[in-house]
Amino acid sequence: MKLIKLFVAIFCLGISQASFASMKITVNGMVCSFCAQGIEKSIMKMDDAKAIFVDLKSKVVVIEAKEGKILNEKLISQEIKDSGYDVVKIESIPQTVAQFKAESREKK
């Protein structure tokens, strides 16, 4: 019985990683479009990043992984910190960058 529970847990973990191909990062210190451009440039140099969206008003950075890739939370966090900003929170989300942008516009 324990083996079955372990198998189910591993299976669910695999599904959750596949369905959460984007990360939403709350960042303190971003105040202008120059800040946003700096973060965009540094993140897009990473091999796993497909797209990025920086929302200065909500202090959020959303990064979408390339197909078949998994974003490295520690590397992304370090890249943002090295750019001079504070990472407050990182969470996986099911939306693509385009979907997140569309939802953000609808809320405004």
Q: pLDDT tens digit string along 26-48? A: 999 999 999 999 999 999 999 99
Residue 42 lies in a domain: yes
Residue 6 lies in a domain: no
Residue 43 belongs to what domain range?
A: 21-107
- CATH number of the domain encompassing residue 25: 3.30.70.100
Residue 54 lies in a domain: yes
Residue 31 lies in a domain: yes
Give the separation between CA 35 and CA 54, rounded to whole angstroms: 9
Label residue 16 by pLDDT band (50, 70, 90): very low
pLDDT higher than 90, residue 10: no
Residue 57 lies in a domain: yes
Residue 2 lies in a domain: no
Per the structure, how many domains does the chain have? 1
Give the separation between CA 39 and CA 47, rounded to whole angstroms: 15
